[in-house]
Amino acid sequence: MNGACPTPPDVSSGQKAAAALVTSLQGARSTPGFRPGWPRGLGRQFCRAASRKRRQSQATLSLLRESKGPTGICSIKGKRNQNLRGKLQRAGRNMSPKITTELLRQLRQVMKTSKYVTEPIQAYIVPSGDAHQSENIAPCDCRRAFISGFDGSAGTAIITEQKAAMWTDGRYFLQAAQQMDSNWTLMKMGLKDTPTQEDWLVSVLPEGSKVGVDPFIIPADQWKRMSKALKSAGHVLVPVKENLIDAIWVDRPQRPCKPLMTLDLSYTGIGWKEKIAALRAKMVERKVLWFVVTALDEVAWLLNLRGSDVEYNPVFFAYAVIGTDTIRLFISGDRMADPSTREHLLLDSALEAEFKIQVVPYESVLTELQAICAGLSPKEKVWLSDKASYALTEAVPKAHRYLTPYTPICIAKAVKNTAEAEGMRRAHIKDAVALCELFNWLEKEVVKGSVTEISAADKAEEFRSQQNGFVDLSFATISSTGPNGAIIHYKPVPETNRALSGNEIYLLDSGAQYKDGTTDVTRTMHFGTPSAYEKECFTYVLKGHIAVSAAVFPNGTKGHLLDSFARSALWDCGLDYLHGTGHGVGCFLNVHEGPCGISYKTFADEPLEAGMIISDEPGYYEDESFGIRIENVVLVVPAKTKYNFCNRGSLTFEPLTLVPIQTKMISVPLLTQKECDWVNDYHRKCREVIGAELKSQGRHEALQWLIRETEPITKMH
């Protein structure tokens, strides 16, 4: 799954607009994007209820349009040109704006109601995210979509007494324009004449205005920028404790509070006590007294617990505050009543005081943190991620604040220990078995004309769910054939659903959560005879995939230095792809995680280290025609080299994904001998490892398919 792939806001092609349509049609809601260091607003931004119900997407559509007005499809079609209409139809979007007049009236009412604000505010900002800066957010957190109707992954709404404006990027210009009614002004970010939120506010606000925002939802760095700009123009940014959208959202869904799952040492390799001890060692090293865990996957990893509060990510709503001799876990509901959880966390055991976990309600994190800070002596520090919310950051007085872009948990979590790496290996073997079954099934069924993108995705999920330890998908399956494959974040819905055939390229980007680990794999197949051009493009992508996978590089190298390796073969022919090459992958956690990755965008990535796991997924997309992507999840491992400059040591990658790469798609003469050898070595390993597993699972037909698909290729001399 391509998560390292920001579609640059300044490159807004029809393809991307169509992708955005598809995304939104499927029930995308506002999300703040991927947390640490990753570009915001990527990936799968779907609220569970909608995304799983793609077969009933008409119903979903009605739901989304519950406030829809008279403006219908016809008028939209009438306004657009042929090409765009084609895309809209292909993407299956029948969009109509949400009528927000009444909602905005109510919001403006509460903006001056003393129950909610001490003094009336003249503007209210509604950002995309939740309080944990999660990539996927729960339905109860989709506030920006509720107030505006615009449910793309990225956007900020600002409502003043007279106006309502929405800032979003090039991916969503069309979608936002369609989903919002005339109460809203669309602010197209990246265009020259679009004002920033700050400049716009300054231009429309009466003198000495107050601008409100929920301090839990705005990250501290954004607050700082906005506050400074407003202040210099004579206004003031104020935190509004109660969320004003919640105040008017009568049927707002409950915050999810699903049961927890405990993970024992065979999965985690390290007990939670040990993890906390290691964290405390880091705290001593940095001379901090307290550490506040705000990211959901960091809480889950630290305590060896998993949940299902947020879609696709096995996390649960919680905070943790770690002191040098105390542990506070902020979590709601009766989840701590479960005996296995109590046992796992040793809640009823006699144990060292410093490992005694105090369970505190989720909502009390702010007051507890304030109480902690009130007791600090001078020079005593509290460690937070610099992505934490303004509310929690502000609770720590400046002199006591210690902020870093990556927390020690984020960095420790990225480097998988032996048990985790073994778990990831097992997960990928099971995942490969499922995919061998799927591809074998597809080969037989596609010719009959009865397989569609949706039924193929369903079948993939069916085969995966047969595997031991299967928990869930790790993201919404991208099952796309022909022109749909060129829509990078495509997900099939009935309106766009296309039958697989022997005449088109099929791209499947999918993955699952197993109790052992998380998978993410893309294969591009042809079930008939690919054209020479399709094979040529596929081979360039494969060359890029191999160039990264086989790269040897010194310890301490950052991932962004490898990005061009993936593109070089495409560049030579004037081709390229507009997304990054790789993202960190969690172990039975988020399929996108920091702090490492491979991208032409140089975010503050940390150096690659043995034990880190990332994806390697170059692609090529031909608008209106086809999409190609070849993705493996790879483990960073030490490399043996002839020399060892400065004793630095070298690293390379070991593919964890072991699914055949369709040799039919390869134009072998374009490969070097080394690249041929790589393909043959890779397929030998697939045959050995996955073959053995298929055999032991008694999946003989899939085994035959695997053996056929892993025949060596030969370069003629």
What is the contact surface with its own copies in residues (CB under 8 A)? 11, 13, 551-554, 560-565, 568, 570-576, 578, 600, 602, 639, 641-646, 648, 650, 672
Q: How far is the CB of 574 from its own copies (least distance, A)?
A: 3
How far, in Å, CA of 427 to CA of 434, rounded?
Answer: 11
Q: How far is the CB of 641 from its own copies (least distance, A)?
A: 3
Q: How far is the CB of 23 from its own copies (least distance, A)?
A: 21
Strands 210-213 and 156-160: unpaired
DSSP string, 179-205: HB-TTEEEEETTSTTPPPHHHHHHHHS
The 8 Å CB, 24+ separation contacts for 699-706 are 699/433, 699/436, 699/437, 701/440, 702/433, 702/436, 702/437, 702/440, 703/436, 704/440, 705/436, 705/439, 705/440, 705/443, 706/436, 706/660
Q: 448-482 b/e with 16+ CB inside 10 Å = b?
A: eeebbbbbbbbbbbebbeebebbbbbbbbbbbbbb
Nearer to its own copies, 69 or 649 (CB): 649
- On whether the CB atoms of residues 218 and 390 are closer than 8 A, the answer is yes
Q: How far is the CB of 402 from its own copies (least distance, A)?
A: 15
How far, in Å, CA of 526 to CA of 442, rounded?
Answer: 10
Nearer to its own copies, 45 or 599 (CB): 599
Nearer to its own copies, 459 or 535 (CB): 535
Distances (CA, A) of 311 to 92, 163, 461: 23, 34, 16
Nearer to its own copies, 466 or 650 (CB): 650
- On whether the CB atoms of residues 517 and 588 are closer than 8 A, the answer is yes
Q: How far is the CB of 609 from its own copies (least distance, A)?
A: 16
Q: How far is the CB of 621 from its own copies (least distance, A)?
A: 9
In 10 A of CB 27, how many CB atoms? 28
Amino acid, single-letter form, for residue 251: D
Of 81, 83, 85, 63, nearest in space to 73 by CA = 85
Nearer to its own copies, 406 or 540 (CB): 540
Q: How far is the CB of 562 from its own copies (least distance, A)?
A: 7
Q: How far is the CB of 200 from its own copies (least distance, A)?
A: 18
Q: How far is the CB of 625 from its own copies (least distance, A)?
A: 13
- On whether the CB atoms of residues 383 and 286 are closer than 8 A, the answer is yes
- On whether the CB atoms of residues 276 and 293 are closer than 8 A, the answer is no
Q: How far is the CB of 558 from its own copies (least distance, A)?
A: 8
Nearer to its own copies, 638 or 712 (CB): 638
| Distance separating the N- and C-terminal Cα atoms of the chain | 37
Amino acid, single-letter form, for residue 233: A
Nearer to its own copies, 139 or 408 (CB): 408
Output the six-digit token pair for 144.
């920006």
Nearer to its own copies, 215 or 618 (CB): 618
Nearer to its own copies, 326 or 557 (CB): 557
Of 108, 144, 140, nearest in space to 32 by CA = 144
Nearer to its own copies, 119 or 572 (CB): 572
Q: 564, exposed or middle or buried, with CB in 10 Å at 0-12, 13-18, 19+?
A: middle
